[in-house]
Amino acid sequence: GHLLDGANRTAFVTLALQRWLGIRMETIGNLITLSSCVSCFLFKVPPSLAGLTITYSLGVIPIMNWCIRQYSEAEALVISAERVGHY
């Protein structure tokens, strides 16, 4: 019972942190998209270039999510290897 509660607690914290990070990353990605749209409007960019710019700014969100998840997974693996070496 006690060990299971501890495992569930850590799993819940991990899930909550992933959701928190996901919301923050989506917000940053949406701000990037908004800034590219506003910039295209203010600088009177041709429609073809504006479409390309907005499309690339929308593609940044999944790339940022993937990079951060890979970094955190690699960090967790390094920490687990350090713990094994310590024990």
Whole-number Å distance between alpha carbons of 83 and 28: 34
The model's pLDDT over 27-58, given as tens digits with 9 standing for 90+, comes to 999 999 999 999 999 999 999 999 999 999 99
Q: How confident is the model at residue 78 (pLDDT cuts 50, 70, 90)?
A: very high
* Residue 1 predicted with pLDDT over 80: no
Q: What value does the mean pLDDT take over residues 12-26?
A: 90
Residue among 53, 65, 61, 76 nearest 21 (CA): 65
Q: What value does the mean pLDDT take over residues 15-25?
A: 90
Q: How confident is the model at residue 72 (pLDDT cuts 50, 70, 90)?
A: confident
Q: Tokens standing for 50?
A: 């504006």
pLDDT for residue 86: 82
